[in-house]
Amino acid sequence: MPKLKPMHIKVSKKEDAEITSAALSDPDAIPLNDLEWEQIKPLVKLGRPKSDITKERITIRLSRDVVNHFRSSGAGWQTRLDLALKDYISSSQLKS
């Protein structure tokens, strides 16, 4: 079981029953039964959508000044580093 955060408020069984009762009395919040849930489950997509562009996760050692330069440019620095490497590849192919 995951560790609870320090400010977590544990709900008593009585409070839980009151919350459940209030939720069930709300016509806009009627819970799905097992059959209804099984019917919509294939339509529910969890997590980040798959990207058309696939990237490979690697470990690479770079000089500290290169990493600091790109990190100092803010969020998205890894993408900018990737673009700089792609630019290098395209420019070096033109020279060959």
Q: Any idea where the domains of the chain sit in the sequence? A: 13-43, 64-95
Q: What is the pLDDT of residues 16-68, one digit of tens each?
A: 999 989 888 888 887 888 898 888 888 777 787 777 777 888 999 999 999 99
Angle at 69 between CA 73 and CA 51, to 5 degrees: 55
Tell me which residue has tokens 């009151």.
Answer: 18
Cα separation, 47 vs 56, in Å, equals: 19
Q: How distant is the alpha carbon of residue 26 from its chain centre?
A: 31
**How many other CB atoms are found less than 10 A from the CB of residue 80?**
14
pTM of the complete model beyond 0.75: no
